[in-house]
Amino acid sequence: MQRDELELDLPPAFEIGQKVRIRKLIKNDGTFPGQDIGAVLAQKGDVGYVASIGTFLQNTYIYAVHFLDTGFVIGCKKKELEIVEENNESNATNE
């Protein structure tokens, strides 16, 4: 994506229901209710599922990711997430 190109001009990078992994530590910036500012919401490597897709400032997708271990639903940018490949897991359960 070039500098003058808006992310919203492209389809979302992730789909609702898709399994994703956090690429960096996520702390509360004051927008997550019930947790102190600076509290750790998700550790690098935590896995969750995309629950919904919204936008921020009319130029960026925000992915609401539900982390089953904590119950938290955290808004994440594309650069903070990566897809979890399930090929090995699904093959192991089918055998």
For 23-78, what is each residue's pLDDT tens digit? Answer: 999 999 998 999 999 999 999 999 999 999 999 888 899 999 999 999 999 999 99
Q: How confident is the model at residue 8 (pLDDT cuts 50, 70, 90)?
A: confident
Contact (Cβ atoms closer than 8 angstroms) between residue 56 and residue 64: no
Q: Where are the domains of the chain?
A: 18-83
95 has a pLDDT exceeding 90: no
**CATH code for 18-83?**
2.30.30
Cα distances (angstroms) measured from residue 47 to each of 25, 67, 73, 90: 12, 7, 12, 16
